[in-house]
Amino acid sequence: MQAIARRSRAAGRRIGFVPTMGFLHEGHLSLIRIARRRCELLVVSIFVNPIQFGPGEDFTDYPRDRDRDKLLCRRENVDVLFCPSNDEMYPEDHTVYVDETVLSRGLCGASRPGHFRGVTTVVAKLFNTVQPHLAVFGQKDAQQARIIEKMAADLDFPVRIVRGPIVRESDGLAMSSRNKYLSREDRARATVVFKSLRLAKSLLSQGTRQTSVVRRAVREALGATPRVEVEYVATVDDRTLKPVTRVAGPTLLAVAVRIGGTRLIDNVVLRPRSAPSGRGASYA
Ligand code: PAF
């Protein structure tokens, strides 16, 4: 992979990269299309990264379908499908890890200790192998995207991080490889996650700015659906990921729930609307 990257760079071809864990869906394909438009050599990786799964998490059950993934990548004109093995990525004597120490603490980091250390370590390795000019990450994993942006900035990776918007099913459920775990009944219940985010947006448009009011409404909406257990409902500054009490600038409303055994996350960025007089903050 490094030899391909070197040759491509020497020929002046821009390398675009979409790292994935496979079992590709429309969400991944949208990221692949964003990268395709902006580069000459498009690399997609598939690697189910063991070190970002905690004990008791779904590493062994994580859905895999390499043949289908290959077909989809071919259809999207992916130039290189990079699928390293566990042993290639983590030989027995692997001892060095990349750890972001602030943004990783809250939200998903609180309930999944070590998860983001696993993500930053594998993404750093993939960046060094693929040597991309730009890499595309999905907004569904907003905390992950922010941590990768910070890692690239702090460790001087010469790569531009691009975020791709969340892709949703027709009923609003954010696309995720893990949706496959949901039973038919739980799949129907899962739509409450998006509905709760929409409710939050409508509170904003009615003038609510206090985040405690927004969080309470979201928790109530989620709690009214059987089998939906709330892991967190958080309102944080979109860049620092620190909790905020008012929506005064771009504010990430992030939600994690469990439905049956399945953990789902989703989010929306809340922005204060222009004051009716035309004065005040405006975020188009
Ligand atoms: O978002 C994912 O699928 C994974 O966390 C990533 C970025 C491919 C790292 O394993």
Q: In this structure, what DSSP letter does residue 141 have?
A: G
> Contact 57/197 with Cβ under 8 angstroms?
no
Give the nearest ligand 1 atom to 20 CA: 8
| Listed range (76-90, 242-256, 263-277) with the worst mean pLDDT | 263-277
Tell how far the Cα of 109 is from the centroid of ligand 1, in angstroms: 14
DSSP 139: G
Burial 110-148 (b: 16+ CB within 10 A, else e): eebebbbbbbbbbbbbbbebbbbbbbbbbbbbbbbbbbb
Residue 74 has pLDDT above 60, yes or no: yes
**The pLDDT of residue 78 is above 80:** yes
Q: Of 25, 28, 115, 133, which one is the catalytic site residue?
A: 28
Please tell me the pTM assigned to this model: 0.95
CA of 248 to the centre of ligand 1 (A): 31
Minimum CA distance residue for ligand 1 atom 5: 119
pLDDT at 284 over 80: no
Q: Is the pLDDT of residue 43 over 60?
A: yes
Residue listed under structure tokens 């949703």: 168
Q: Are 206 and 198 in contact (CB under 8 A)?
A: no
Q: Could you tell me whether strands 80-82 and 228-237 are parallel, antiparallel, or unpaired per DSSP bridges?
A: unpaired
**Which tokens in the block code for residue 51?**
């070190």
- Our separate counts of H helices and E strands in the chain read 10, 8
* Residue 3 binned pLDDT confidence (cut-offs 50, 70, 90): very high
Q: Strands 262-270, 251-259: parallel, antiparallel or unpaired by DSSP?
A: antiparallel
Quick check: 276 pLDDT over 90? no
Looking at residue 20, what is its pLDDT?
98
Q: What is the mean pLDDT of residues 79-97?
A: 98
Atom of ligand 1 nearest to the CA of 52: 10
Give the three-state DSSP class for 235.
strand
> d(Cα 74, Cα 72) in Å, to the nearest integer?
5
Quote the Cα angle for 177-166-173, to 5°. Answer: 60
For residue 189, what are its two tokens?
Answer: 């219940």
Quick one: average pLDDT of 176-194? 97
DSSP H/E element including 256: strand 251-259
Q: How far apart are CA 115 and CA 50, in angstroms?
A: 10
Q: Which of 30, 47, 48, 49 to mutate to test the pocket of ligand 1 (most atoms within 8 A of CB)?
A: 49
Q: What is the mean pLDDT of the chain?
A: 95
Q: Once rounded to an integer, what is the mean pLDDT over residues 35-50?
A: 98
Question: How do residues 131-176 score in pLDDT, each as one tens digit?
Answer: 999 999 999 999 999 999 999 999 999 999 999 999 999 999 999 9
Predicted confidence band of residue 282 (pLDDT cuts 50, 70, 90): very low
- Residue type, position 187, single letter: R
What's the pLDDT tens digit per position in 190-207?
999 999 999 999 999 999
Q: Are 136 and 34 in contact (CB under 8 A)?
A: yes
Q: Which of 108, 150, 123 is nearest to 51 (CA)?
A: 123
- For residue 154, what is the enclosing H or E element? helix 142-154
Phi, psi of 13 (to 5 degrees): -95, 130
Per cent of the chain over pLDDT 90 is: 95
Residue 273: what pLDDT? 76
Inter-axis angle of helices 2-10 and 115-130, nearest 10: 50
Residue 28 known to be catalytic: yes
